[in-house]
């Protein structure tokens, strides 16, 4: 979408327009007519279109950076829709809760992915790109850069970073196998009553995030996982595990994926969540109330955890 241009017939403008999400000075204006949407472009968030109450909600939660991260990670070709209050609730609820060590790793991955070639200064700017490292502020992102330098993973030139060989080694270690795969393994109960959640929520959310869903629809495997399933799980980049129906196979498959050190996205119909096996309670479940709810939240979670799937041109360049 083209950048929003200021038009006095459409927008009101303050003297110093600021982004309603991150408070950076930005070319963002408020529409004259209700619902008085803020529209424009911000160097931290990218394209912004948000209702005043949604912006207020994110600011009040002190979690504007999660919204900035979600906006920044949107696929470039995605038509963007105005963010409303319920979208903010969903983004806040589904945002992964990373530890400082995980954020340090994420910061290194982002710095590396924004380096055009080994030895080059990364384009990562702590003042503009801090949400990509899930840092709440530029200062927090700068802290990660300094810590990465301390560990020898980057050289710092002022506040710009160059990834070192140990840094690239660390990135490779993190990515491991499966990262180049576009397959998302779906573990779930294969009862016909579950088809709508697969057809209308899980499969389309995975496809829209540019991955390929794989569901092995065969006999119920109780207490064992057959070789074909193990092979397919090993080929997959991440897993979507829906625990509704409490099938043993889903627990085994999710356990196998965790053992491979890859991401599992946990889902369950909200009504059944209390009966989910105790050991899985520590994970942040998408506890959906409808297929539409499941689809929207799964899509956001995939983008938050894995990013957009590899495009054909990216695969060719590998
Ligand atoms: Zn912003």
| Sequential pLDDT tens for the chain (318 residues) | 446 777 888 888 777 788 999 989 888 888 888 888 998 889 999 888 899 999 899 888 888 888 888 787 665 555 567 888 888 887 776 666 677 888 898 899 889 989 999 999 999 999 999 998 889 999 999 999 999 999 999 999 999 999 999 999 988 877 665 566 889 999 998 888 999 999 999 999 999 999 999 987 644 544 445 667 777 887 889 999 999 988 777 887 887 787 676 889 999 999 988 877 756 666 788 999 999 999 999 999 999 888 888 765 444 333
**Cβ(85)–Cβ(53) below 8 Å:** yes
129 vs 65, 67, 95, 126, 310, CA distance in Å? 10, 13, 17, 5, 21
Measure 25 CA to ligand 1 centroid, in angstroms.
8
Measure 131 CA to ligand 1 centroid, in angstroms.
10
Distance CA 208, CA 92 (A): 21
Q: Which residues, including other chains, have CB under 8 Å from residue 49's CB and lie 6 or more apart?
A: 37, 38, 39, 80, 81, 82, 83
Measure 118 CA to ligand 1 centroid, in angstroms.
30
Per-residue model confidence (pLDDT) at position 222: 46
Q: Where are the alpha helices (DSSP H) in the chain?
A: 52-60, 64-72, 85-94, 100-113, 126-129, 138-150, 165-175, 195-197, 203-208, 227-235, 248-259, 291-305, 312-316
Per-residue model confidence (pLDDT) at position 176: 64
Per-residue model confidence (pLDDT) at position 115: 92
Per-residue model confidence (pLDDT) at position 186: 95
Measure 91 CA to ligand 1 centroid, in angstroms.
16
* Predicted structure pTM score: 0.60
Measure 68 CA to ligand 1 centroid, in angstroms.
6
Per-residue model confidence (pLDDT) at position 247: 79
Query: Which is nearest to 135 in space by CA: 148, 122, 150?
Result: 148
Per-residue model confidence (pLDDT) at position 316: 39
Measure 71 CA to ligand 1 centroid, in angstroms.
9
Measure 47 CA to ligand 1 centroid, in angstroms.
9
SS3 assignment, position 156: strand
DSSP 8-state class, residue 83 = B
Measure 46 CA to ligand 1 centroid, in angstroms.
7
Measure 290 CA to ligand 1 centroid, in angstroms.
31
Domains of the chain: 11-94 (no CATH), 100-175 (1.10.10.10), 183-316 (3.40.50.450)
Measure 19 CA to ligand 1 centroid, in angstroms.
5
Per-residue model confidence (pLDDT) at position 83: 86
Measure 7 CA to ligand 1 centroid, in angstroms.
20
Measure 52 CA to ligand 1 centroid, in angstroms.
14
Measure 36 CA to ligand 1 centroid, in angstroms.
17
Q: Which residues, including other chains, have CB under 8 Å from residue 276's CB and lie 6 or more apart?
A: 243, 246, 268, 285
Per-residue model confidence (pLDDT) at position 226: 66
Per-residue model confidence (pLDDT) at position 317: 39
């Amino acid at each position: 979408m083209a950048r929003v241009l200021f038009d006095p017939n459409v927008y009101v403008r303050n003297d110093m327009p600021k982004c309603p999400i991150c408070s950076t000075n930005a070319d963002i204006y408020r529409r004259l007519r209700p619902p008085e949407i803020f529209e424009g472009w911000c160097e931290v968030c990218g394209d912004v279109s948000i209702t005043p109450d949604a912006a207020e909600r994110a600011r009040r939660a002190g979690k504007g950076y999660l919204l900035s991260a979600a906006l920044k990670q949107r696929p470039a070709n995605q038509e963007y829709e105005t963010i409303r209050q319920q979208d903010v609730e969903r983004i806040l609820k589904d945002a992964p809760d990373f530890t400082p060590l995980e954020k340090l790793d994420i910061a290194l991955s982002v710095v590396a992915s924004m380096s055009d070639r080994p030895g080059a200064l990364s384009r990562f700017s702590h003042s503009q790109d801090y949400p990509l490292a899930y840092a709440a502020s530029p200062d927090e992102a700068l802290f990660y850069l300094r810590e990465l330098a301390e560990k020898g993973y980057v050289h710092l030139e002022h506040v710009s970073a160059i990834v070192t060989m140990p840094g690239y080694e660390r990135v490779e270690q993190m990515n491991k196998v499966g990262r180049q795969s576009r397959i998302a393994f779906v573990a779930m109960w294969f009862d016909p009553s579950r088809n709508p959640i697969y057809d209308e929520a899980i499969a389309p959310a995975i496809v829209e995030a540019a991955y390929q869903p794989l569901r092995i629809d065969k006999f119920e495997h109780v207490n064992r996982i057959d070789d074909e399933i193990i092979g397919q799980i090993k080929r997959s980049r991440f897993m979507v595990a829906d625990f509704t129906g409490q099938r043993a196979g889903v627990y085994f498959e999710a356990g196998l994926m965790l053992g491979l050190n890859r991401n599992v996205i946990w889902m369950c119909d909200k009504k059944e969540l209390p009966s989910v096996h105790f050991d899985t309670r520590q994970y942040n479940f998408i506890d959906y109330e409808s297929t539409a709810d499941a689809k929207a939240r799964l899509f956001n979670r995939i983008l938050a955890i894995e990013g957009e799937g590899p495009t054909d041109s990216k695969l060719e360049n590998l």
